[in-house]
Amino acid sequence: MSTARPLLMIPGPIEVSPEVRDACGGAPPGHLAPGVIEAFGGSLERMRQVWLADASSQPFIVGGGGTVAMEMAAANLVAPGDRALVVVTGYFSDRMAEMLRRAGANVTRVDAAVGATPCLDEVRAAICGVKLLFATHVDTSTGVRVDAEALARLASENGVLSVFDGVCATAAERFDMKGWSADVYLTASQKAIGLPAGLALMVVSARAMEKRRSLPHAPPMYLDWLEWLPVMQAYEARRPAYFSTPPTNLILGLDIGLRQILAHGIEARFELHRRCAAAMRGAWRAMGLSLVPVSEALAAHTLSAIRFPDGVDASLVAEIGKRGVVVAGGLHPAIRSEYFRVGHMGYAATRTEMLRTTIGAIGGALLDRGRKFDLALVLDAAQETLERSVVGSD
């Protein structure tokens, strides 16, 4: 067993770059310190670039996580009785549907078999009379990615506001907020943005802000976009402001994380994740493993949800851990004990050695369980695919 710190390859939180770690790791600055104001304001500007959003859209940085960002979307967009359509692809879309119900929406679900997505025609057939459409860009419980472009365009053509949970996708899976006329794209700091957990991040369209202004009631204060708006506007104008104390260390880290993504280039970042996922999937295939997503086209680029092969059970996760790599067990209640999950996003996607170590640990644990394949060949093939794109390897 490795005595070094284990490699964290779950689908969030993830390994972060040394620069982000350094930025987050100092003595806590005040929220009105000039360095924090600059990092906050610059991060808001850079979020629009990472989200491919236009100047009229409003970014928000709020202490919390993905669930807080989801609650904010529900609390600011649902008027009592509004019809909301939820495209359900796993555990997190299920959570969104329940939140919307609690927020007073009349919820219609469009479900799919585990590992699949509902087809667009089913969503189209259900959209009449709907005010809001919600989808999980990548559902972390199934590793399934929806066609966010098709859904956002369908919503916009029908005058419906669209909200996408990008917690396991933003900055890794292509999302063109402006080009697709999407209304809210939300995420958390601990995934492909490349920070520790603790920030809810979202960009909101002018149409969605208008919907908040038209609500007949005010949302709970902490969730209310209109409470946060003056704070975001002040920071973007490089002025201090206060509504609720932000996690200042994380704000310094966010500045670095977003700069690193943009220095790489956002389209290059999407391509990196595509290539990295192709290499990882090639390795799983060569080890005789199959994925939860029912087709390659639906498989996310940020994580792999992998079925245990015959004769192997969930104790494999601990065996992989003993080899120095932390992977995650199953999450979707219908198949929880049948699969495990491996994250390959953000900083790790740029580090060939981390990806190789992960494949090596999983392969080694499977060989111990009597599976038959040539691990050296698997690693060589993965390396070849990774070398075609991965930056920063050494």
Q: Tell me the CA distances in angstroms from 313 to 190, 307, 310, 355, one per residue in order.
A: 28, 10, 8, 23
Q: Identify which range of 26-34, 52-60, 136-144, 378-386 contacts ligand PMP by CB under 6 A.
A: 136-144
Position 188 contacts ligand PMP (CB under 6 A): yes
Closest to ligand PMP by CB, 286 vs 328, is 328
Position 136 contacts ligand PMP (CB under 6 A): yes
Closest to ligand PMP by CB, 66 vs 363, is 66
Near ligand PMP by CB under 6 A: residue from 7, 9, 10, 12: 12
Q: Where are the beta strands (DSSP E) in 47-91?
A: 58-63, 83-87
Position 71 contacts ligand PMP (CB under 6 A): no
Among positions 40-69, residues that touch ligand PMP (CB under 6 A) are 65-67
| Minimum separation from the CB atom of position 140 to ligand PMP (A) | 3
- What amino acid occupies position 149? E
Question: 52: which DSSP letter?
Answer: T
Closest to ligand PMP by CB, 127 vs 168, is 168
**Closest residue to bound ligand PMP by CB:** 66
- What amino acid occupies position 70? M
Instruction: Taking each helix axis as running N to C, give the angle between helix 375-387 and helix 266-286, from 0 to 180 degrees, rounded to the nearest 10.
Output: 160
Among positions 292-331, residues that touch ligand PMP (CB under 6 A) are none
| Minimum separation from the CB atom of position 199 to ligand PMP (A) | 9
Position 168 contacts ligand PMP (CB under 6 A): yes
Closest to ligand PMP by CB, 184 vs 241, is 184
Closest to ligand PMP by CB, 287 vs 331, is 331
| Minimum separation from the CB atom of position 198 to ligand PMP (A) | 9
Bridge pairing between strands 106-110 and 339-343: unpaired
Tell me the number of residues near ligand PMP by CB under 6 A: 13
Closest to ligand PMP by CB, 14 vs 23, is 14
Q: Identify which range of 165-173, 231-239, 268-276, 335-343 contacts ligand PMP by CB under 6 A.
A: 165-173
Position 219 contacts ligand PMP (CB under 6 A): no
Q: Identify which range of 15-23, 132-140, 262-270, 344-352 contacts ligand PMP by CB under 6 A.
A: 132-140
Contacts of residue 171, defined as CB under 8 A and 6 or more positions apart, other chains included, come to 50, 187, 192, 193, 194, 261, 266, 269, 346
Report yes or no: 72 and 62 within 8 Å, Cβ to Cβ.
Answer: yes
Closest to ligand PMP by CB, 107 vs 146, is 146
| Minimum separation from the CB atom of position 170 to ligand PMP (A) | 10
Contacts of residue 92, defined as CB under 8 A and 6 or more positions apart, other chains included, come to 66, 136, 139, 140, 141, 165, 167
Bridge pairing between strands 7-8 and 184-188: unpaired
Near ligand PMP by CB under 6 A: residue from 15, 82, 147, 165: 165
| Minimum separation from the CB atom of position 300 to ligand PMP (A) | 10
Closest to ligand PMP by CB, 73 vs 279, is 73
Chain centroid to Cα 190, Å, comes to 8
Dihedral, CA atoms, 67, 70, 76, 77, nearest 10 degrees?
Answer: -160
Contacts 24+ apart (CB under 8 A), 331-335: 331/90, 331/91, 331/140, 331/141, 332/90, 332/91, 332/114, 332/141, 332/142, 332/292, 333/91, 334/114, 335/114, 335/292
Dihedral, CA atoms, 82, 85, 90, 96, nearest 10 degrees?
Answer: -20
Report yes or no: 164 and 182 within 8 Å, Cβ to Cβ.
Answer: yes
Report yes or no: 91 and 140 within 8 Å, Cβ to Cβ.
Answer: yes
Contacts to ligand PMP by CB under 6 A: 12, 65-67, 92, 136, 139-140, 165, 167-168, 188, 197
